[in-house]
Structure 1
Amino acid sequence: MVALFAHYSVVGVLVLMIGLLAIQIVVVGALGVDSTGQRLEDIQPGGARTRRDVGADARVSPLK
């Protein structure tokens, strides 16, 4: 990164960061979970518990 900055200055570093972000967007878009028409609670991993579930199990408010 330092060599990139030394040779291309701020513009080179910004182009690299924007390029990496674009690659990340493409990868997440290609491999991401399609949640269209589904609640997030329905597609969460089986072992995960929501804060609301924890409060319901303990019979107390989750805010206490």
Structure 2
Amino acid sequence: IIETCSFAPRLELFARGARRGWLVWGNQADDAYEPTWATYSHNSAAERRQLDQLAPDSD
């Protein structure tokens, strides 16, 4: 809802993970955050997982 009615930049004060278009602040706000429980499909790590799946292996 916030993304559809507010212009960037946006600030999340209780962030657990980074999200494109948002400034994040919180003691768990880093790029390595990954939810370990069942959650909604558009969580903060979902976009990163999609990009990782599309990227070719560097091995």
Q: Which bracket does the TM-score occupy, shorter chain normalised?
A: under 0.3
| Structure number with higher helix proportion | 1
State the TM-score, normalized to the length of structure 1.
0.26
State the TM-score, normalized to the length of structure 2.
0.27
Q: Which has the higher contact order (CA 8 A, sep 6+)?
A: 2
| Structure number with higher strand proportion | 2
Larger Rg: 1
